[in-house]
Structure 1
Amino acid sequence: MLNISERLARIAAHVPQGARMADIGSDHAYLPLYLAQKGQIASAVAGELNEGPFRGAERNVRSRGYSDRITVRKGNGLAVIEPGEVDVITVAGMGGGTIREILSAGEEKLAGVQRLVLSPQGDSEGLRRWLGEHGWQILDEEMLVEDEKMYEIVVAERGEMAVDDRNAMEFGPILLAQKHPLIADRVDYELGKIRLALEGLEKAKGDSGEQRRQELLARRQQLEEVKAYVQS
């Protein structure tokens, strides 16, 4: 069995049995290969834009004997699939803004897609808002730390979701409801940045500095309330 990271294994756990999946930004196709080895997927498209990883994915799929189940395609975002070709899409290892751009640019390719499994690196709030504004609701979420980096996994299916709760969009409605312990760690990191920014503003003069100070104080209060909630 292919040895993959914990993050990829967690993503794989959200791919339904028998899925026709597309892994966008597949790198060396480790996730589709892992799922194929487990007999968890009916087929996969491994999409990769960069030449080196694309060639590596081709070699990995061919050498492990899964060319009949995994198709490796070179292209940008959802351009590697056709409408109705897959029912699950995974995207990991990119910023939330980049994932939004990929989904927006290829939105017509989402026809027939039942589930999105996304692991944004930053701007997960913007990604959650995009999902809610485009007919997706969050089904499940995870947080984990791997190699001293914090990762989120967002699982979405078709449905309605409100996007007017800032805390829910920033920290995840399900993660907040679970009072996930890693939220407090994330808040502490943000509070540290605010503390440094406030110290820097002590030397600032004028209304612009005071306005920024008030914004930082409001943000600090919001984060402290979130931390108190998840630790209650």
Structure 2
Amino acid sequence: MNEQTLSLRLERVAAHMPAGAHLADIGSDHAYLPVALLHRGVIATAVAGEVALTPFRAAERTVGENGLERRISVRLANGLAAIEPEDGITAVSLCGMGGETIRDILDSGKARLSGRERLILQPNGGEQPLRQWLMDNGYRILCEEVLRENRFYYEIIVAERGKPVTYSAEELYFGPLQMQARSPTFLAKWQRLLRQKQKTLASFAKARQAVPEQKLQDTARQVRWITELLAELH
């Protein structure tokens, strides 16, 4: 992967970018996403935020090699602290982190958001608590997709502030739009997860030490939800 050829995940994130956006790519790593989007004429400007020094230097290098220093500001900062009001940010991307990490970054940096930005999120697991945060903070999920890359399943969640919306517990778990669309990749992901959860339940039954009741109930409920979801399709 480089600034010319993005990974499948980042290509799908790029597909949800509004034209002419002022992007804040948080946890930008090598800044491949903002550089590619600028080369393609999709976005106007970008902030590439990185909390760690090594990826920050890598991002600076990519931006410099592409002669984009005037259009992309590379900043060493924690989460949304990379955003300044004068940036006029209209889109925020957070990719390749756990859903809980993305949630925590959004929550601790809430004051930096105007509420007019599109959030384009690609969590590595932990989608449920992330969707919960979006719902609790007045964000509506506009688009969701699940894709498979290198044997792993990844989700993309696109959200904007709008009229308050209430999602059910199952919708927060599976994704409200994914439950409706039920793509083959979505079904394959949950078939695989069902097998994993069933194995976990079986191992709980054999465990020498007592498994906390809450954990047992949570796993059993998830198995029930997935079984019901898949049964509806047959």
Q: Same fold (TM over 0.5)?
A: yes
- CA shift at 1:228, angstroms? 2.3
Question: 8 Å contact 1:171–1:183 — kept in the other structure?
Answer: no
1:91 and 2:102 are equivalent in the alignment: no
- CA shift at 1:166, angstroms? 1.7
Question: Which residue is 1:26 aligned to?
Answer: 28
Q: Which moved more, 1:169-178 or 1:188-197?
A: 188-197
- CA shift at 1:160, angstroms? 3.1
The residue correspondences of 1:129-148 to structure 2 (distance < 5 A) are 129-148=132-151
- CA shift at 1:148, angstroms? 1.0
Question: Which residue is 1:46 aligned to?
Answer: 48
- CA shift at 1:152, angstroms? 0.4
So what's the TM-score if we normalise by structure 1? 0.91
Counterpart residue type for residue 53 of structure 1: P
- CA shift at 1:205, angstroms? 7.9
Counterpart residue type for residue 202 of structure 2: E
- 2:175 pairs with 158, 162, 172, which one? 172
Which ranges of structure 1 fall in alignment gaps of 5 or more residues? none
The residue correspondences of 1:54-203 to structure 2 (distance < 5 A) are 54-83=56-85, 85=87, 86-111=89-114, 113-203=116-206
Question: 8 Å contact 2:138–2:165 — kept in the other structure?
Answer: no
Identity within the alignment, %:
42
Question: 8 Å contact 1:77–1:106 — kept in the other structure?
Answer: yes
- CA shift at 1:83, angstroms? 3.2
Using a 3 Å threshold, how does the CA distance of structure 1 residues 204 and 173 change in structure 2: closer, same or farther? same
Question: 8 Å contact 1:84–1:113 — kept in the other structure?
Answer: no
Distance 2:212 2:26 in 1: 43
RMSD: 2.3
Distance 1:39 1:58 in 2: 20
Question: 8 Å contact 2:80–2:112 — kept in the other structure?
Answer: yes
Which ranges of structure 2 fall in alignment gaps of 5 or more residues? none
Question: Which residue is 1:11 aligned to?
Answer: 13
Question: 8 Å contact 1:18–1:41 — kept in the other structure?
Answer: yes
Distance 2:64 2:177 in 1: 39
**How many residues are matched?**
231
Q: Which moved more, 1:182-191 or 1:93-102?
A: 182-191
The residue correspondences of 1:216-231 to structure 2 (distance < 5 A) are 216-229=219-232, 231=233
Question: 8 Å contact 1:89–1:113 — kept in the other structure?
Answer: no
Q: Which moved more, 1:40-49 or 1:185-194?
A: 185-194
